[in-house]
Amino acid sequence: MKVYSINSLLSKGKEIISNQVQISGWVRSFRSNRFIALNDGSCLANIQIVVDFENFDEKTINQISVASSIQVLGIVAESQGRGQEIEIQAEKIQILGTANPNEVQETILQPKRHTLEKLREQAHLRFRTNTFSAIMRVRHALSFAIHNYFNSQGFFHIHTPIITGSDAEGAGEMFHVTNFDLNTIPKDENGNVDYSQDFFGKQTNLTVSGQLEGEVATMGLGKIYTFGPTFRAENSNTSRHLAEFWMVEPEVAFFELEDDMNLAEDFLKKVIADVLEKCKEDLEFLNTRYEQEQKQKPQNERTEWNLIEKLKNITEKNFHRVSYTEAIEVLKDSKHNKKGKFKYPVENWGMDLQSEHERYLVEEHFDAPVILYDYPAEIKAFYMRLNDDNKTVRAMDVLFPGIGEIIGGSQREERLEVLKQKIKDFNIDEKELWWYLDTRKFGTVPHAGFGLGFERLVLFVTGMSNIRDVIPFPRTPKNAEF
């Protein structure tokens, strides 16, 4: 007798007919006191357990209900029903955990279609639903594919700090870290918070990016990547923002902007292709859901591609590369802009592009993924390398349909004096970044990297429309439940 997961059992199929097996899971349905649909989360499919109820005591039968958990010992047999090759003829059933049917009726465990909002309200239970379990398996596969990709390319995985004294983006939207008693915060003689008495002896925050520390590591290891949690205290209660999310950030020494764009394109194509191969069942399920959702939209808002086609489109098409300056001209001259259909009209060079502009370029004008590069220096971070025109920096963003920006990256400013001036221009205290500047003193080299918001990628691959549905426990303004 062997213990199986449902996924491994179904993959064996008819080759293990007549074998005795043990399997455990949660009951999805129990029909006629005879047919149990059992699921253990290892795959989308249930396996049917056939119960000869006359051979089981009444107490056991009465405890089998939707959402209860059981362990089954039985013989694999050829299925008499549709949809599966095999089923299990139960010989022994052990009740692991009961579920009150009346209480189940009030939860998302009740076998019927539930709204995504209802699923969010019961996030502790939504792992048991088809939709969310499929999303989580795809999320896992994407995570594994990312690590596998960088490992195969000779990158080293670096753990950068979660607690930091620097603001990589210079935006100031950070969560502060302290061990002060908030009712008795010490002040200095000027009435300011005396951080010298705090745990770290200075003001510290939860990280918004591991990039700066990643640059330090790449100056000795050559090719590194980080994959960790990041935090933004941005009060944006939208379908695209989270206060806690995961970032993938590779950094490569001796790389310039063109190399960075090549890496980003190859990375996205390979990772998505990997998941297309390994998550066929879950993606087919999510594709059906995606198509149903599209039918409910107005005709002019529907996409011409289904989910699987959209993903294959990424893996098969070359990304279109266009400068920011060219993109501004395209947007200014577009009928969309001239007819006032943009919420933010495109008028002048130097404006920060909005998601609606990025999606227009991808979905309407180029009909392909787009990499924008050479952005105005004034709208980008201090660490990006200044071009010879002294107006633009060697930055690049990868834009996807339905998402807009999915990757943001740049060649980093390796010239010490130029970097010092940019730090000054951004009103950043040079003393806080002494260690970062040191890397430009001892054998500085051209280097580049990018950041991928992992949840943005999961959102794209699963076809979901709200970022709160692609992370197990979303952290948003006024919401830190679970």
289-342 tens-digit pLDDT: 999 988 888 877 778 889 999 999 999 999 999 999 999 999 999 999 999 999
**What is the CATH class of 130-173+208-469?**
alpha beta
Protein fold of 2-107: OB fold (Dihydrolipoamide Acetyltransferase, E2P) (2.40.50)
Residue pair 333/357 in contact by the 8 Å Cβ criterion = no
**What is d(CA 471, CA 462) in angstroms, rounded to the nearest whole number?**
12
Average pLDDT of the residues of the chain? 94
Query: For residue 354, what is the DSSP state?
Result: P
**What is d(CA 164, CA 170) in angstroms, rounded to the nearest whole number?**
13
At 51, is the secondary structure helix, strand, or coil? coil
At 243, is the secondary structure helix, strand, or coil? coil
pLDDT in tens, 101-156: 999 999 999 988 899 999 999 999 999 999 999 999 999 999 999 999 999 999 99
Burial grade of 59 (CB within 10 A; 0-12, 13-18, 19 or more) = exposed
Within the chain, all domains assigned CATH 2.40.50.140 are found at 2-107
| pLDDT of amino acid 297 | 83
What's phi and psi for 13, nearest 5 deg? 60, -140
Whole-model pTM? 0.94
Within the chain, all domains assigned CATH 3.30.930.10 are found at 130-173+208-469
How many C-beta neighbours within 10 Å does residue 373 have?
A: 24
